[in-house]
């Protein structure tokens, strides 16, 4: 449930629930590596070794060679490198946190090795000058722009999957999700937090029940859940999580979680994104007209880390 009261005044039960979820979510904002398996197996950024300068340089060479534009190869994870890393992570269905971790490095070297194999050069996963030259030769032979960079067209010609389609929702699916959520706007709960006649009525805080119902009703395979941290755990386990640093990539149909790593207290469906503002359709939220009732409403918020913890991709 979302109210307009200060964070400190939110019901104590939410804080207690948040504490119970800390073992599975003890991570710095948006910095969790998406690893298959139980959420309890995840680790925080503090417990995970940072990439070395040598590893960052390798990642930068690979990102540049794959047309993600990481900028200067200097071993420093600056803004351009972070943005390039996020783009790669999104394409490969990894946690979009901009962190060059084990999974991201493995994904980069694997993709570069595929390019190197097709270009007929040693597949060592390092997009160096030799690979650039070999790719340029391949491009010339296949009537492509010979820049030595394995961008979308070159990888398509090589038969290499650049974007993992299985975890990227189509525009039609996103449209259906938003349509389903909008169809419920105005539905209200009674004094017992029940929503009579609705499949998401759980007679307790029901924002997660509503959000996951919207996805299932629209064709997304997601279990019935009534607790926001459980939705987060599911997203991490299924490589659907986008941390706070990726909020600007929000799209209609995404689920968006309010709060922080220590208090994920509300969830809704992204309706529209306009610059730094997002409209969210959520259940068990207060009526913006001031009636005092709780129901399904479409409300505007600042698309920032001070409001939201992150996104779940359909």
What would the mean pLDDT of 285-302 be, rounded to a whole number?
Answer: 95
Distance of CA 118 to the CA centre of its chain: 31
pLDDT over threshold 70, residue 15: no
What pLDDT does residue 249 have?
Answer: 83
**Sign of the CA dihedral running 59, 65, 68, 70:** positive
Which range has highest mean pLDDT (13-17, 18-22, 295-299)? Answer: 295-299
Round the average pLDDT of the chain to a whole number and report it: 84
Least confident of 189-193, 199-203, 243-247, 270-274: 243-247
Measured CA to CA in angstroms, residue 57 lies from 62, 150, 217 at distances of 9, 18, 45
Distance CA 14, CA 37 (A): 26
What would the mean pLDDT of 60-71 be, rounded to a whole number?
Answer: 95
What pLDDT does residue 132 have?
Answer: 98
Contact predicate 240/257, CB 8 Å: no
Least confident of 44-53, 240-249, 262-271, 281-290: 44-53
First to last CA, the chain: 22
Q: How many CB atoms lie within 10 A of CB 95?
A: 29
Q: Indicate the pTM of the whole model.
A: 0.59
26 burial type by CB count under 10 A (0-12 exposed, 13-18 middle, 19+ buried): middle
What would the mean pLDDT of 246-264 be, rounded to a whole number?
Answer: 92
pLDDT over threshold 90, residue 213: yes
Least confident of 82-91, 159-168, 246-255: 159-168
pLDDT over threshold 50, residue 124: yes
What are the domain boundaries of the chain? 7-43+169-312, 49-165
More confident residue, 15 or 200: 200
Query: What does the H/E/C string look like for the chain?
Result: CECCCCHHHCCHHHHHHHHHCHHHHCCCCCCCCCCCCCHHHCCCHHHCCCCCHHHHHHHHHHHHHCCCCCCCCCCCCCHHHHHHHHHHHHHCCCCECCCCCHHHHHHHHHHHHHHHHHHCCCCCCCCCHHHHHHHHHHHHHCCCCCCCCCCHHHHHHHCCCCCCHHHCCCHHHHHHHHHHHHCCCCCECCCCCCCCCCCCCCCCCCHHHHHHHHHHHHCCCCCCCCCHHHHHHHHHHCCCEECHHHHHHCCCCCEEEEEECCEEEEEEEEEEEECCEEEEEEEEEECCCCCCCEEEEEEEEECCCCCEEEEECC
Would you mind telling me the total number of residues written for the chain in this entry? 314
pLDDT over threshold 90, residue 137: yes
Q: What is the pLDDT of residues 140-197, one digit of tens each?
A: 999 999 999 999 899 999 999 888 876 667 788 999 999 999 999 999 999 999 999 9
Measured CA to CA in angstroms, residue 184 lies from 212, 225, 231 at distances of 13, 18, 21
Phi, psi of 105 (to 5 degrees): -60, -40
Contact predicate 82/245, CB 8 Å: yes
pLDDT over threshold 90, residue 33: no
CATH code of domain 7-43+169-312: 3.90.1720.10
What would the mean pLDDT of 21-36 be, rounded to a whole number?
Answer: 33
What pLDDT does residue 18 have?
Answer: 42
The strands making up 241-242's β-sheet, listed across from edge to edge, are: 241-242, 308-312, 255-260, 263-274, 277-286, 294-302
Percentage of the chain with pLDDT > 70?
83
Contact predicate 169/313, CB 8 Å: yes
What would the mean pLDDT of 199-219 be, rounded to a whole number?
Answer: 97
Distance CA 165, CA 54 (A): 31
What pLDDT does residue 49 have?
Answer: 55
């Amino acid at each position: 449930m979302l109210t307009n009261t200060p964070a400190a005044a939110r019901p104590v039960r939410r804080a207690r629930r948040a504490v119970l979820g800390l073992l599975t979510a003890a991570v710095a904002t948006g910095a969790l590596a998406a690893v298959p398996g139980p959420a309890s197996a995840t680790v925080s950024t503090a417990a995970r070794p940072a990439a070395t300068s040598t590893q960052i340089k390798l990642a930068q060479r690979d990102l540049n060679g794959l047309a993600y534009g990481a900028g200067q190869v200097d071993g420093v994870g600056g803004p351009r490198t972070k943005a390039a890393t996020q783009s790669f992570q999104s394409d490969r269905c990894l946690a979009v946190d901009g962190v060059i971790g084990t999974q991201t490095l493995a994904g980069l070297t694997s993709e570069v090795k595929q390019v190197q194999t097709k270009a007929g050069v040693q597949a060592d996963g390092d997009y160096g000058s030799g690979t650039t030259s070999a790719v340029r030769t391949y491009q010339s032979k296949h009537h492509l722009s010979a820049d030595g960079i394995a961008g979308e067209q070159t990888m398509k010609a090589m038969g290499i999957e650049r974007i993992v389609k299985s975890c990227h929702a189509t525009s039609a699916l996103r449209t259906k999700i938003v349509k389903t959520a909008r169809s419920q706007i105005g539905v209200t709960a009674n004094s017992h937090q029940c929503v009579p006649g609705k499949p998401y009525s759980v007679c307790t805080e029901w924002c997660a029940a509503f959000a996951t119902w919207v996805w299932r009703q629209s064709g997304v395979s997601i279990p019935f859940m009534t607790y926001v941290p459980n939705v987060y755990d599911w997203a991490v386990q299924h490589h659907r999580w986008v941390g706070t640093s990726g909020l600007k990539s929000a799209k209609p149909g995404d689920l968006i979680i309010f709060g922080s790593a220590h208090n994920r207290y509300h969830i809704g469906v992204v309706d529209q994104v306009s610059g730094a503002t997002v409209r969210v359709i959520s259940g068990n939220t207060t009526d913006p007209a001031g009636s005092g009732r709780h129901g399904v409403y479409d409300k505007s918020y600042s698309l920032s880390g001070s409001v939201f913890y992150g996104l779940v991709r359909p």
